[in-house]
């Protein structure tokens, strides 16, 4: 129903009420609404209720969707930051390996900073992938950068070496582990 139809119906109803009031004042019995008019009114009420329920449902879906999109936007912003910090984590690990090989006693400050950095990453849901040589190659978690002949039969189709560690952010891959696969 458009606005003009609604206005016309309201005017008709007002005229009926005025006629009823005038006839009551004149001592005449008031006109009773016709049975089909009552049915029309019931249909209009049912239609209005249906529209209300649909609009309410649509609004609730909109509210949920926007809340979900907002959460995804925040997580996406975190994801970009985490991706930018992963090379720093790699550098920390290379430096740690170098310090441990040299048995440098003065590296204690470095290790404290590295541990603090790891804890911050963990706080925001970042976990390194546990990828071992000899484990099965999984395309959902690993990126094969090259294939080499397997040193023995048991390593065919399996990971021979891990070139770069992979990371998960809230159980979602943010960087695939770069691996060498035996063929």
Beta bridge partners of 172: 169
Q: pLDDT per residue over 23-53, tens digit each?
A: 544 555 555 556 688 889 999 999 999 999 9
Beta bridge partners of 148: 182
pLDDT at residue 154, as a whole number? 82
Q: pLDDT per residue over 104-136, tens digit each?
A: 777 888 889 999 999 999 998 899 998 888 888
Query: How many whole angstroms from its chain centre is CA 78?
Result: 13
β-strands 126-128, 167-169: how paired?
A: antiparallel
Give the gyration radius of the chain's Cα atoms: 36
User: Given CA atoms 95, 96, 101, 104 in this order, what sign does their dihedral have?
Assistant: positive
Mean pLDDT of the chain: 83
Structure tokens at 112: 């404290």
3-state secondary structure of 178: strand
Q: Which CATH architecture has domain 127-183?
A: Roll (2.30)
Where are the domains positioned within the chain? 55-124, 127-183
pLDDT at residue 171, as a whole number? 85
């Amino acid at each position: 129903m458009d606005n003009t139809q609604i206005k016309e119906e309201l005017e008709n109803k007002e005229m009926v009420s005025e006629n009823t009031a005038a006839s009551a004042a004149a001592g005449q019995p008031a006109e009773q609404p016709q049975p089909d008019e009552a049915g029309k009114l019931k249909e209009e009420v049912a239609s209005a209720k249906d529209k209300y329920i649909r609009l309410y449902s649509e609004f609730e879906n909109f509210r949920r969707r926007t809340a979900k999109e907002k959460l995804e936007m925040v997580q996406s912003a975190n994801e970009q930051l985490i991706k930018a910090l992963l090379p720093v984590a790699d550098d920390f690990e290379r430096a740690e390996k170098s310090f441990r090989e040299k048995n440098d006693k003065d590296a204690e400050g470095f290790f404290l900073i590295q541990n603090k950095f790891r804890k911050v990453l963990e706080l925001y849901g970042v976990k390194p992938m546990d990828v071992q040589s000899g484990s099965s190659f999984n395309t959902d978690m690993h990126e094969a950068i090259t294939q080499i002949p397997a040193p023995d039969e048991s390593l065919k189709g399996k990971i021979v070496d891990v070139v770069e560690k992979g990371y998960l952010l809230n159980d979602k891959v943010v960087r695939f582990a770069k691996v060498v696969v035996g063929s």
